[in-house]
Chains A and B, each alone.
Chain A
Amino acid sequence: AQSVAQPEDQVNVAEGNPLTVKCTYSVSGNPYLFWYVQYPNRGLQFLLKYITGDNLVKGSYGFEAEFNKSQTSFHLKKPSALVSDSALYFCAVSPEGDGYSTLTFGKGTMLLVSP
């Protein structure tokens, strides 16, 4: 069975500084990896995904994520944080292969960007 770990419940960063939200995964075979963001009292919004190809994936709102197969990681990054980036971030994984498989989510990391 696949699993996702987001080791930090909360990440604090000052506006203008780079940010990293960590994610590691466990899956049989090659992974499909996703990042979602959730603002208060809203649904999850898709940010970016890794399917295959370039290990650096660019997504919405200036976010990017780097796939590292040897470390089984898919960390979310942004060069310069904004206060409006403050939200709950979820990493998710599904395995490559035939047939249907569910998307498994991590527990989420709260990002707080201070002015």
Chain B
Amino acid sequence: DAGITQSPRHKVTETGTPVTLRCHQTENHRYMYWYRQDPGHGLRLIHYSYGVKDTDKGEVSDGYSVSRSKTEDFLLTLESATSSQTSVYFCAISEEGARGNTIYFGEGSWLTVV
């Protein structure tokens, strides 16, 4: 296992409420990522971080924000959850950037917005 812990693993929330997903790594890797997985879309990058307080947007960043105050923690926040954000969210890490470096994934967080 890649030393990645996601919490919560399962959550049901109501439309309009804020939600924060946490990713904690024990590998001291520089890069951390949040992906979402939806049927027919594969995995799509939401945001990524290349160091403490250094983050950037991915392909599907609207409605999401992230923070990284420590190397080991990367938080994903849905400011006001919508039904379209019902998905499985995966945190991932890599030593360096995506070019040729293997990305390792956590076990996922299942989020349902009702």
Contact = CB atoms under 8 A, between A and B. Distances in A.
Given A99-B97, A106-B42, 19 more contacts: A32-B100, A34-B102, A34-B103, A43-B4, A44-B90, A45-B105, A90-B42, A96-B99, A100-B97, A101-B97, A101-B99, A102-B58, A102-B59, A102-B98, A103-B103, A105-B42, A105-B44, A107-B40, A107-B41
A65 B51 CA distance: 33
27 contacts: A32-B100, A34-B102, A36-B105, A42-B108, A44-B90, A44-B105, A46-B102, A46-B104, A51-B100, A90-B42, A94-B98, A94-B99, A95-B99, A96-B99, A97-B99, A99-B97, A100-B50, A100-B97, A101-B97, A101-B98, A101-B99, A102-B58, A103-B98, A105-B43, A105-B44, A107-B40, A108-B42
A7 to B, nearest CB: 13
B106 A94 contact: no
A49 interface: yes
Nearest to A36: B105
Contacts of A101: 97-99
A105 to B, nearest CB: 4
Interface in A5-53: 32, 34, 36, 41-46, 49, 51
A90 B35 CA distance: 14
Interface string B78-103: 00000000000010100001111011
A41 B41 CA distance: 17
B32 to A, nearest CB: 13
Nearest to B107: A43
Given A107-B40, A108-B42, A100 B108 contact: no
A18 B87 CA distance: 34
Nearest to B96: A100
Contacts of B4: 43
Contact of B45 (A34, A49, A102): A102
A45 B45 CA distance: 17
A95 B45 CA distance: 16
B74 to A, nearest CB: 15
Contacts of B99: 32, 94-97, 100-101
Max chain A CB contacts within 10 Å: which of B103, B106, B107? B103
